[in-house]
């Protein structure tokens, strides 16, 4: 369909090419208390039909604003101050409200983070999907038929039943499929995906990304993908633009940009990621000095100049023009030729981490059962686990696997079932922290994902630290101040920072403060629950370095919970994999990443979108994590396992046994067999999925679910 | 669902019992001589004693408490100290009249204020929104006896459009009854208009900022389709809860309005009973108002559960 182009008189007609989306020198400001604060400073890029384009950059760089500007869904205080946006040749910036509505209906769609919120909670899924077709003018029965088709297209198994459900009755993955189905209803020219898989489990993320890739082939829609996870961008996008402070600083073929960055910012961003399997003992992560300029700041000619190691006088005076590097590759930098000067930090001398010490924390047969409405829900089942002196134990698994319950039980927030052992330095800990002596409380501390909610908002950083020092160490008077200064110095918090309140600190500084607080009493164990997942990668790098340094200095043991396997690989000495409240595999970090693995671990590892683009096995688990109230018989993973063996797996639960030195696994398949199968899977292109007989077994159990 | 209802009703009964006990405590522990209050300061002591004997107000507290609780269970609240006839029919009559007045007031105010609130949310920060919010705040801050008096003077007396007394003649038809009740109902409606409209506006603005409204906008729905299909139901949940509380309040009687329009509703009845130390009447009145409160909040919770499936699932447990 051709669209009329209505331009203001005198405006130049856009070149007659076929870009599905073309953004031309777009500038945008947010009006805050009457003052315009620029957020986009001349963004230019285009996406061809069928092409997928990724925008990357740290929070505040303007990537989401760009995406929302593309469909003109902007905050009430946003003003487009310059430039134009063409979708399929029509200028979005000058469209009337009515035309805009028509345009969104037929030509542009959007999928975003948190699919649960994107669906009306009080209306069943069916009417919501049908509406997306009915609005196009289809009659009710036609719209209904199309809605069913659309749900099938996004691989929803039983669309009729799903349409009868309310959104909250469905899993996050299902919800996102439904939102995607609605977005595709009009067969749009442009599909904007804003962090579509953030907050979903890795296994679910992998299948949603598979879906996006397969739909891309079918629809010929241009895709604009926003994601902070560079692996997601790499696995989906053809081309990528790197944004910094409201500008695209580098652009090009996704693989080329990630493999050979041509802008100091891109290079720094990629180096701050824990990738290529590097570990804390080998090298500190690169960090980017300074911080992102605040929204609306007046910036010198090159926006990155204040943090750039290559900057010279010219960078402050002349805005670097885009340098064409061939193959659609551009970089806005005066000093591309000097990029090789930026070498990576040398590998650390010294051996792999220190000798394994004695046991700091020992869990034996630890269980936790919740009681809900007359049902008992076993959240932890017979956990045997040791955390040694000065080591990091990484805990991984999908949401609902019991990771957080385990952390809470260790901290004494949840009281474990009677009979289990929870020993700190060989003495039994009381089940509840309120029953523990101060000495034990001091010894086990916590760092949360969201430091904001863990710090008293009304207090200064200094007061927060002083209170923890007083509470945990028994120090008094001047000794407290001395300890506070010491902690601040260790975490690189300045005296000025100490006089600020948490909300005046940036996310990274807040997390430093939270870590300083946890270290106030010289703890033996620090439980860190997703300590960096709310942070940008360059900030994450700094936090991971700090955690690693503190560990070396203080011989503290960490229990690290993270869904980011790059982070786990970097920081953890050993890794435990949980599923449905059980430990499925535990072993030295390198051993676990090398394999052979428990099939569940294998699936988790294969699901991670890799920023290096290295090929690997493709395993897509069927079904969803079962309800812990009604765990499957035999091996609890058998209902989703791609290596399911009928007659054994659903009958007997395998024990957690040592398959090689320092490597335990809970699987019926012999380790050598797993080694062979997994090497085979890595070589083949075939996608491994849960066999139908396992899924049938899953359905049979689900029907007996009492919940 | 049945279990949920039973639990709610049981809780309600306990509330009523507590309420009755509190009323009993307040009315009986105050050191006053009921016979003396009724007969006045100049009556001879023997007459007072005889009246107290007759009313049973000279018996020990525990006996009277047990008696009043038995009365509560058997719905026998005793005879009025003043008129000597059973109180329950009198109270029920007053409640009926209050229900008519409150019902009419709500019938006027609910649709108007919800429509105004939704419209204001849709036109947020524009002139219409500012006007509605300002009008709402102004109207709710003028006491109902002021609006009532102005209505009487302007509409009732000067324009002579509607009767200034609320009580319709015996056996009047529905239209006539409404004509009589209209002025006091409007006086009450005005007070609640601003309150409910602002609640609705706040609820709708919150919903309008949610992600699923963005979904609806991106689908290409018109604003009115979005409002009807996606905003209304979600935005009204807090409003319903507010209205429920107001119903109890309206039944308790807007004494000033009843006085101005000379209407014998719950407010006037209770005030009269309190002044005369008519304890059985007072007790029955408080219990009945408590019952109305209870039923109104129960109804609101059921409506909210019907509107919001997530809450519904919880009630079905």
Q: What is the ipTM of this complex?
A: 0.80
Report whether pLDDT(A507) > 90.
Answer: no
Question: Whole-angstrom distance between the N-terminal and C-terminal Cα of chain A?
Answer: 51
Nearest CB among B211, B221, B234 relative to A122 is that of B234
Mode of pairing for the β-strands spanning A687-689 and A21-32: unpaired
Q: Quick one: three-class SS letters along A547-566?
A: HHHHHHHHCCEEEEECCCHH
Taking CA–CA distances from A124, the nearest residue in chain B reads B309
The SS3 assignment for A365 reads strand
Which secondary-structure segment (H or E) carries A22?
strand A21-32
Q: Looking at A113-253, which runs of residues are DSSP E strands?
A: 190-194, 222-226, 239-244, 247-253
Weakest-pLDDT range from A2-16, A690-704, B105-119: A2-16
Residues 6+ apart with CB under 8 A from B2: none
- Give the CA count within 13 Å in the CB-facing half-sphere of A655: 4
Can you give the pLDDT at residue A563? Answer: 85
Report whether pLDDT(B172) > 70.
Answer: yes
Q: Which of A89, A71, A412, A60 is CA-nearest to residue A243? A: A60
Can you give the pLDDT at residue A5? Answer: 44
Nearest CB among A73, A76, A166 relative to B218 is that of A73
Contact B219/A at CB under 8 A: yes
Find the farthest-apart pair of alpha carbons in chain A and give their distance in angstroms, rounded. Answer: 83
8 A C-beta contact, residue A510 and residue A502: yes
Is residue A372 classed exposed, middle or buried when 0-12, 13-18 and 19+ CB atoms within 10 A define those classes? exposed
Taking CA–CA distances from A97, the nearest residue in chain B reads B222
Encoded tokens for B171: 């056996």
Contact B221/A at CB under 8 A: yes
Encoded tokens for B186: 């409007």
Query: B220–A106: do the CB atoms touch at under 8 Å?
Result: yes
Q: Would you list the DSSP string of B125-154? A: TSHHHHHHHHHHHHHHHS-HHHHHHHHIII
Can you give the pLDDT at residue A9? Answer: 44
Interface with B, mutate which of A68, A111, A122, A132 (most B CBs under 10 A): A122
Helices (DSSP H) in A164-201: which residue ranges? 172-183
Percent of chain B predicted with pLDDT > 90: 23
Q: What length does chain B have?
A: 317
Tell me the Ramachandran region of residue A327: left when phi exceeds 0, alpha when psi lies from -120 to 50, beta otherwise: left
Report whether pLDDT(A328) > 80.
Answer: yes
Residues of A in contact with B234 (CB under 8 A): 120-122
How many C-beta neighbours within 10 Å does residue A154 have? Answer: 22
Residues of B in contact with A69 (CB under 8 A): none
Helices (DSSP H) in A31-139: which residue ranges? 63-70, 97-106, 115-118, 125-134
Nearest CB among A76, A104, A119 relative to B218 is that of A104
8 A C-beta contact, residue A574 and residue A589: yes
Interface with B, mutate which of A118, A164, A178, A194 (most B CBs under 10 A): A118
Residue A43: which pLDDT band, with cuts at 50, 70 and 90? very high
Domain ranges of chain B: 2-73, 90-312
8 A C-beta contact, residue A513 and residue A464: yes
Average pLDDT score over residue span B104-117:
93
What is the Cα–Cα distance from B279 to B276, expressed in whole angstroms? Answer: 8
What is the Cα–Cα distance from A47 to A223, expressed in whole angstroms? Answer: 8
Q: For residue range A637-647, what is the model confidence (pLDDT) as tens digits? A: 999 999 998 88
Average pLDDT score over residue span A634-663:
91
Average pLDDT score over residue span B198-207:
94
Beta bridge partners of A560: A394, A528
Residue A664: which pLDDT band, with cuts at 50, 70 and 90? very high
Q: For residue range A380-439, what is the model confidence (pLDDT) as tens digits? A: 999 999 999 999 999 999 888 899 999 999 999 999 998 888 999 888 988 888 899 988
Average pLDDT score over residue span B53-66:
79
Can you give the pLDDT at residue A688? Answer: 86
Mode of pairing for the β-strands spanning A574-579 and A392-396: parallel
Can you give the pLDDT at residue B13? Answer: 87
Average pLDDT score over residue span A526-551:
89
| Structural domains of chain A sorted by starting position, each given as residue range(s) with its CATH number in brackets | 116-185 (no CATH), 359-578 (3.40.50.300), 595-703 (no CATH)
Can you give the pLDDT at residue B315? Answer: 61
What is the Cα–Cα distance from A405 to A397, expressed in whole angstroms? Answer: 12
Percent of chain A predicted with pLDDT > 90: 47
Q: For residue range B208-240, what is the model confidence (pLDDT) as tens digits? A: 999 999 999 999 999 999 999 999 989 998 899
CATH of B90-312, one of 1.10.3720.10, 2.130.10.10, 3.30.750.80, 3.90.1150.10: 1.10.3720.10
Distances in whole angstroms, Cα of residue A511 to Cα of each of A77, A450, A495 = 30, 8, 16
Residue B252: which pLDDT band, with cuts at 50, 70 and 90? low
Beta bridge partners of A216: none
Question: Whole-angstrom distance between the N-terminal and C-terminal Cα of chain B?
Answer: 7
Q: For residue range A436-478, what is the model confidence (pLDDT) as tens digits? A: 998 898 899 999 888 888 888 889 999 999 999 998 888 888 9
Query: A118–B214: do the CB atoms touch at under 8 Å?
Result: yes
Report whether pLDDT(B57) > 90.
Answer: no
Can you give the pLDDT at residue A706? Answer: 44
Taking CA–CA distances from B230, the nearest residue in chain A reads A120
Chain centroid, CA A511 distance in Å: 17
What is the Cα–Cα distance from A324 to A293, expressed in whole angstroms? Answer: 27
Q: For residue range A50-78, what is the model confidence (pLDDT) as tens digits? A: 999 999 988 888 999 999 999 999 888 89
Residues of A in contact with B4 (CB under 8 A): none
What is the Cα–Cα distance from A95 to B102, expressed in whole angstroms? Answer: 50
Average pLDDT, chain B: 85
pTM for this predicted structure: 0.84
Report whether pLDDT(A304) > 60.
Answer: yes
Query: A121–B220: do the CB atoms touch at under 8 Å?
Result: no
Residue A669: which pLDDT band, with cuts at 50, 70 and 90? very high
Q: For residue range B122-148, what is the model confidence (pLDDT) as tens digits? A: 999 899 999 999 999 998 888 888 888
The SS3 assignment for A517 reads helix
Distances in whole angstroms, Cα of residue A649 to Cα of each of A270, A397, A402, A696 = 42, 20, 22, 14
Q: How many cross-chain Cβ pairs, A to B, lie less than 8 Å apart? A: 74
Can you give the pLDDT at residue A80? Answer: 93
Average pLDDT score over residue span A174-183:
92
Residues of B in contact with A187 (CB under 8 A): none
Which secondary-structure segment (H or E) carries A23?
strand A21-32
């Amino acid at each position: 369909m051709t669209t009329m182009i209505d331009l203001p008189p005198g405006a130049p007609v856009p070149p007659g090419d076929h870009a599905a989306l073309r953004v031309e020198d777009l500038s945008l400001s947010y009006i805050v208390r009457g003052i315009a604060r620029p957020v986009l400073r001349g963004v230019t890029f285009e996406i061809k039909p069928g092409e997928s384009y990724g925008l990357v950059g740290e929070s505040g760089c303007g990537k989401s604003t760009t995406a929302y500007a593309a469909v003109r869904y902007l905050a009430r205080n946003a003003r487009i101050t310059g430039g134009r946006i063409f979708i399929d040749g029509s200028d979005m910036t000058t469209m009337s409200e009515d035309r805009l509505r028509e345009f969104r209906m037929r030509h542009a769609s959007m999928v975003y983070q948190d699919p649960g919120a994107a669906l009306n909670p009080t209306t069943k899924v069916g009417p919501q999907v049908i509406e997306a077709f009915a609005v196009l003018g289809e009659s009710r029965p036609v719209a209904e038929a199309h809605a069913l088709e659309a749900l099938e297209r996004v691989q929803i198994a039983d669309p009729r039943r799903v349409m009868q459900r309310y959104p909250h009755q469905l899993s996050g993955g299902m919800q996102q499929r439904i939102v995607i189905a609605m977005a595709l209803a009009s067969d749009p020219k442009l599909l904007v995906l804003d962090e579509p898989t953030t907050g979903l489990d890795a296994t679910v993320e992998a299948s949603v990304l598979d879906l996006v890739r397969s739909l891309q082939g079918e629809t010929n829609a241009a895709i604009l993908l926003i994601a902070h996870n560079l692996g997601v961008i790499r696995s989906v996008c053809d081309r990528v633009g790197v944004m910094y402070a409201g500008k695209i600083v580098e652009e090009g073929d996704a693989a080329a940009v990630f493999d050979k960055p041509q802008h100091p910012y891109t290079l720094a961003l990629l180096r701050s990621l824990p990738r290529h399997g590097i570990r804390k003992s080998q090298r500190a992560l690169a960090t980017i000095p300074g911080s992102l300029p605040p929204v609306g700041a007046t910036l010198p000619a090159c926006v990155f100049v204040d943090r750039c190691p290559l900057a010279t006088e010219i960078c402050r005076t002349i805005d670097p023009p885009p340098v064409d590097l061939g193959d659609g590759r551009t970089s806005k930098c005066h000093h591309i030729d000097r990029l090789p000067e930026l070498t990576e930090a040398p590998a650390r001398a010294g051996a792999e981490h220190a000798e394994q010490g004695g046991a700091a924390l020992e869990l034996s047969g630890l269980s936790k059962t919740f009681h809900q409405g007359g049902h008992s829900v076993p959240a932890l089942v017979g956990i045997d686990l040791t955390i040694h002196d000065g080591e990091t134990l990484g805990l991984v698994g999908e949401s609902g696997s019991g990771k957080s319950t385990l952390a809470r039980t260790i901290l004494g927030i949840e009281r474990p079932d009677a009979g289990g052992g929870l020993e700190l330095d060989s003495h039994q800990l009381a089940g509840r922290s309120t029953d523990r002596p101060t000495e034990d409380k001091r010894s086990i501390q916590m760092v949360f994902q969201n430091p904001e909610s863990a710090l008293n908002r009304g207090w200064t950083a200094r007061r927060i630290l002083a209170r923890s020092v007083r509470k945990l160490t028994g120090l008094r008077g001047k000794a407290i101040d001395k300890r506070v200064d010491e902690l601040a110095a260790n975490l690189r918090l300045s005296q000025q920072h100490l006089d600020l309140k948490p909300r005046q600190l940036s996310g990274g500084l807040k997390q430093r403060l939270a870590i300083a607080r946890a270290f106030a009493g010289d703890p033996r164990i620090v439980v860190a629950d997703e300590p960096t997942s709310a942070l940008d990668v360059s900030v994450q790098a700094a936090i991971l370095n700090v955690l690693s340094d503190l560990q070396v200095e203080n011989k503290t043991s960490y229990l690290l919970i993270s869904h980011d396997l790059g982070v786990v690989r970097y920081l953890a000495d050993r890794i435990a994999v949980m599923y449905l409240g059980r430990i499925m595999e535990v072993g030295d970090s390198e051993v676990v990443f090398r394999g052979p693995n428990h099939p569940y671990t294998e699936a988790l590892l294969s699901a991670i979108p890799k920023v290096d683009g290295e090929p690997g096995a493709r395993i897509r688990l069927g079904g969803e994590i079962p309800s812990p109230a009604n765990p499957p018989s035999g091996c609890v993973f058998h209902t989703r396992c791609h290596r399911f063996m009928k007659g054994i797996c659903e009958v007997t639960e395998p024990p957690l046994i040592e398959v090689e030195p320092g490597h335990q696994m809970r699987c019926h398949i012999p380790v050598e067999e797993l080694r062979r199968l997994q090497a085979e899977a890595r070589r083949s292109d075939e996608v491994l999925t849960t066999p139908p007989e396992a899924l049938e077994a899953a359905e049979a159990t689900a029907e007996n679910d009492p919940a | 669902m049945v279990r949920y209802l039973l639990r709610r009703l049981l809780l309600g009964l306990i509330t009523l019992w507590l309420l009755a006990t509190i009323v009993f405590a307040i009315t009986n522990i105050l050191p006053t001589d009921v016979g003396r209050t009724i007969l006045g300061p100049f009556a001879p002591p023997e007459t007072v004693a005889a009246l107290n004997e007759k009313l049973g107000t000279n018996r020990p507290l525990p006996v009277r408490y047990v008696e009043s609780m038995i009365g509560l269970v058997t719905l026998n609240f005793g005879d009025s100290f003043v008129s000597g006839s059973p109180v329950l029919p009198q109270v029920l009559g007053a409640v009926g009249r209050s229900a008519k007045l409150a019902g009419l007031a709500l019938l006027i105010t609910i649709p108007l204020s919800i429509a105004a609130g939704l419209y204001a949310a849709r036109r947020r920060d524009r002139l219409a929104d500012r006007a509605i919010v300002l009008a709402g705040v102004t109207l709710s801050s003028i006491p109902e006896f002021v609006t009532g008096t102005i209505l009487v003077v302007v509409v009732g007396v000067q324009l002579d459009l509607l009767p200034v007394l609320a009580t319709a003649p015996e056996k009047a038809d529905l239209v006539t009854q409404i004509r009589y009740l209209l002025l006091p109902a409007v006086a009450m409606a005005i007070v609640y208009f601003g309150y409910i409209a602002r609640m609705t506006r706040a609820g709708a603005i919150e919903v309008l900022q949610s992600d699923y409204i963005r979904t609806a906008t991106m689908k290409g729905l018109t604003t009115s389709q979005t409002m009807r299909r996606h905003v209304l139901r979600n935005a009204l949940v807090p409003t319903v809860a507010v209205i429920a509380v107001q119903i109890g309040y309206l039944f308790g009687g807007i004494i000033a309005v009843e006085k101005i329009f000379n209407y014998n509703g719950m407010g006037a009845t209770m005030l009269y009973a309190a002044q005369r130390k008519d304890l059985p009447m007072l007790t029955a009145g408080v219990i009945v108002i408590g019952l109305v409160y209870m039923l109104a909040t129960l109804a609101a919770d059921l409506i909210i559960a019907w509107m919001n499936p997530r809450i519904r699932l919880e009630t079905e447990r």
